[in-house]
Amino acid sequence: MTGPGSALTAGAGRAVVELPDSLFPVDGFTSLHDPLRVRVLVLDDGTTRLAVTVIEQTSLFEDQIARTRYILRRTCAVEPDHCLIVAGHTFSAPHVLPP
């Protein structure tokens, strides 16, 4: 059964955010203390599929958001306008600027 009133399905995942050593030092940080992660929850009611994504950074730039939406579309079949992408606020992570 698909469409309104059908069962809600969900999937979740996480991955480590890889930062190159060449990035450091940045904002007084010389290395990572703990790995940074990205977490994704995908929900589908049979009509609409959406993704809630949290990236452990203090802020996100437009190119990072665009790349994340592209990856979600390619890997999870989530349309870009159905993606909620947020930065998880932490002061223990560097403020990563685009190259």
Token representation of residue 13: 């995942």
Measured distance CA(58)–CA(95) in Å, rounded: 6
pLDDT of 1 reads: 44
- SS3 breakdown of the chain: % helix, strand, coil, rounded to 5? 20, 30, 45
Residue 21 pLDDT grade (very low, low, confident, very high; cuts 50, 70, 90): confident
One-letter amino acid at 3 equals G
Measured distance CA(53)–CA(70) in Å, rounded: 13
CATH classification code of 9-87: 3.30.300
Q: Where are the domains of the chain?
A: 9-87
pLDDT exceeds 90 at position 19: no
Kindly report the pTM of this predicted structure: 0.78
